[in-house]
Structure 1
Amino acid sequence: MRLQDVNAVITGASSGIGQAVASHFRREGANLLLTGRRPELPENHPEDLYLPGDLNDEAFVRELADRAANLGDVGVVVLCHGLQASSPLEEMTYDAARDVLHGNLLSAFLVMKHLMPLAPEPGASIVCVSSRLGMVGMPNQTLYSAAKGGLIALARGAAMEWASRNIRVNVVAPGLTVTPIIEASFERRPDPAAYRRVREDSIPLRRLATPEEVADAVLFLACPESSYVTGAVLPVDGGYTAF
């Protein structure tokens, strides 16, 4: 029960990594305020609060902050939401590029801006879920890499800006993870099994991560065990960025 009675806000909590993080935090005793785009959560946990909406809408983020304020101090914020778009750089439209930057970076700024005034005096922890592609480039992922790299820079800057208030800001950078979005992308290939093997072979550990493995890293950075860690980027990518 390492997060007993801690009020935690988790974005992108309706599927994938965000859903796994919520499960871990629930097990550790946190009071959860969750948000996502789905109208309802796939699993019913009456003790959780769920507020669906668009984090690109500042009015909604203010509403989320107001709801969090009703809980009291917010000790942990985890940013699991994001938007992916795959396209050659010269073929990507401006609107698509803008959506990727908003969905991964500017929305994170809005959440930080409106929720950090609710941090308690002893301090708080923010964990941003970025990507291995925030640290390395990949063809057809340039704007996504730029957005996730910007999220890393945002987190590091915020870590320095808020260190005097003992607000720690860290990043988990997952590699390919078995989420519904990734599974669906594999299934769209002519030979899904062969394509999956190719992707696994590009990873030193020769397999994809599970959402629970990424959530383990998030939990570490949220808990007191990481009390002297801030401004850090923790890759959970099977060794991909160690090349």
Structure 2
Amino acid sequence: MRLQKVNAVITGASSGIGQAVVSRFRREGANLLLTGRRPELPEGHPDDLYLPGDLADERFVSELAAEAADHLGHVQVVVLCHGFQASSPLAEMTYDDAREVLHSNLLSSFLALKHLMPLAPKSGASMVCVSSRFGMVGTPNQTMYSAAKGGLIALARGAAVEWAARNIRVNVVAPGLTVTPVIEASFQRRADPAGYRRARESSIPLGRLATPGEVADAILFLACPESSYITGAVLPVDGGYTAF
């Protein structure tokens, strides 16, 4: 029960990695306020408060922070698991699509950090941003997504330095390709789903995709006191993809 009596806000909680984080945090005893784009959680829990909404809308983020203050009081842990990926050659991407990628991945995280930071207790807090392996390397057709996730890394590092005097730690987990419903669906749209998956796995030194639980375990570590002297760090959970 490493998070017993710890209040946490988790975004992107309704699916994928965020859903796995919720499961881990429940198991460790945290009090949760959750948000995501879906109207409701696929796996509800009587003690969880879930507020659906768009984190790129500052009015909603302000309301989320107010609800966190009313429901939880202080917030010791914030996990930002939300995001949106659009694959397109850079020269073919529209301005509106590029703006949506930046808003959904970077500016929404800025808003969440800005509005939730004042709820950190004097004893400190841990904030974990979920970026991507593509925030650390360039890859075809992912340039704007890489820009947004790379910007998220820079945002977290800047916040880590700026808020260190308040004992607010800000770190980043950068997952590689993870077996989420979105990824599984993208495989199924290919002409040869099994062959496409094997090709993706062959690009990873460990030879397989991550599970959401493996990424959630890394996030849990950065949320817990065991990582109390870690801030401004980027932890790749990518099977070695960014190691070469």
Output the TM-score relative to the length of structure 1.
1.00
Q: Which residue is equivalent to 2:148?
A: 147
Q: How does 1:57-136 map to 2 (within 5 A)?
A: 57-70=57-70, 71-136=72-137
Q: 2:170 — aligned with what?
A: 169
Match of 1:215 in 2: 216
Match of 1:30 in 2: 30
**Amino acid in structure 2 at the alignment position of 1:19:** Q
Amino acid at match of 1:59: R
Identity of aligned residues (%): 84
**SS of residue paired to 1:164:** helix
- Deviation (angstroms), 1:149: 0.1
Q: Which amino acid aligns with 1:194?
A: G
Distance 1:179 1:63 in 2: 29
Match of 1:18 in 2: 18
Q: Could you say which residue in structure 2 is the equivalent of 1:236?
A: 237
Whichever residue aligns with residue 25 of structure 1, its letter is: F
Equivalent-residue separation in structure 2 for 1:217 and 1:56 (angstroms): 26
Structure 2: distance between partners of 1:181 and 1:193: 16
Which residue identity is paired with 1:62?
A: S
Q: Deviations over 1:48-69 (max 9, x none)?
A: 0100000011010011001100
What secondary structure is seen at the aligned counterpart in 2 of 1:169? strand
* Deviation (angstroms), 1:204: 0.2
Counterparts of 2:122 and 2:2, CA distance in 1: 19
* Alignment correspondent of 2:43: 43
The one-letter amino acid of 1:209's match is A
Q: TM-score by structure 2 length? A: 0.99
The residue type equivalent to 1:92 in the other structure is: M
Tell me, in whole angstroms, the C-alpha distance in 1 between the residues paired with 2:163 and 2:40: 34
Deviations 1:135-193 (A, max 9, x none): 00000000000000000000000000000000000000000000011001000000000
SS in 2 for 1:51: strand
SS at match of 2:36: coil
Counterpart-to-counterpart distance in 2, 1:74 and 1:83? 25
Q: Which residue of 1 aligns with 2:206?
A: 205
Equivalent position amino acid for 2:56 in 1: N
Structure 1 residue matching 2:14: 3-state secondary structure: coil
Q: Secondary structure at the match of 1:35?
A: strand
Runs ≥4 residues deviating over 3 A: none
When the two structures are aligned, how many residues end up with a matched partner?
243
SS of residue paired to 1:217: helix
Give distance in 2, aligned partners of 1:232 and 1:216: 16
Equivalent residue letter for 1:228: Y
What is the letter of the counterpart of residue 148 of structure 1? K
Residues 71-112 of structure 1: CA deviation (Å, up to 9, x unaligned): 110000000000100000000000000000000000000000
2:33 partner SS: strand
Which runs of no fewer than 5 residues in structure 1 stay unpaired?
none
Shift of the alpha carbon at 1:44?
A: 1.7
Aligned residue type for 2:62: R
Q: Report deviation, 1:214.
A: 0.0
